């Protein structure tokens, strides 16, 4: 019933919402519609991609919690499940290059109410950032050397 109401509402609001929109906006909307139609034929692929992405992010979260333990910060995993995704969302804000610093500040702010020492949270965040940058450098070096062999 809710889906049907949404369809009817979308049908009646289509013209008022699209009036005055640029051609560029309408093209993007058409591309989105085309992508949704393409995926609707095989929803299991979309579900598998979502599950893999969630599993990878959960692995990153657990690795960060383990790195934080090695820095001396011991928190329950549920605290990390609260703070880590919100800090990653904060890193999307266009304040710094790659979100470096914003993510760490958000982690400090989000984990402090749970009794985490701010300097340990910052250290854990910087260690995680070093791991990510190191992985990118190794992958870039591998791509560079493989590209030169051809």
- The answer to whether residue 46 is domain-embedded is no
- The answer to whether residue 25 is domain-embedded is yes
| pLDDT score of 49 | 93
**SS3 per residue for 6-47:** HHHHHHHHHHHHHCCCCHHHHHHHHHHHHHHHHHHCCHHHHH
* Per-residue model confidence as pLDDT tens digits over 22-44: 788 888 888 988 988 888 888 88
Are 35 and 68 in the same domain?
A: no
- The answer to whether residue 51 is domain-embedded is no
Are 97 and 133 in the same domain?
A: yes
* Per-residue model confidence as pLDDT tens digits over 38-81: 888 888 888 999 999 999 999 999 999 999 999 999 999 999 99
Q: Provide the residue range defining the domain that includes 80.
A: 56-148
| pLDDT score of 36 | 85
Q: How many domains does the chain have?
A: 2
Are 33 and 10 in the same domain?
A: yes
- Per the model's pLDDT, the better-predicted residue between 14 and 141 turns out to be 141
């Amino acid at each position: 019933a809710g889906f049907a109401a949404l369809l009817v509402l979308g049908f009646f609001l289509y013209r008022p919402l699209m009036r005055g929109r640029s051609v560029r906006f309408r093209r993007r909307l058409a591309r989105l519609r085309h992508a949704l139609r393409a995926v609707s034929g095989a929803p299991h692929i979309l579900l598998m991609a979502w599950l893999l992405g969630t599993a990878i992010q959960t692995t990153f979260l657990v690795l960060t919690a383990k790195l934080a333990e090695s820095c001396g910060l011991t928190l329950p995993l549920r605290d990390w499940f609260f703070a880590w995704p919100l800090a990653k969302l904060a890193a999307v804000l266009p304040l710094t290059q790659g979100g470096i610093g914003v993510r760490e500040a958000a982690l400090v702010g989000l984990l402090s109410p749970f009794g985490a020492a701010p300097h340990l949270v910052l250290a854990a965040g910087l260690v995680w950032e070093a791991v990510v940058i190191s992985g990118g450098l190794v992958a870039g070096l591998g791509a560079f050397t493989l590209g030169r062999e051809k």
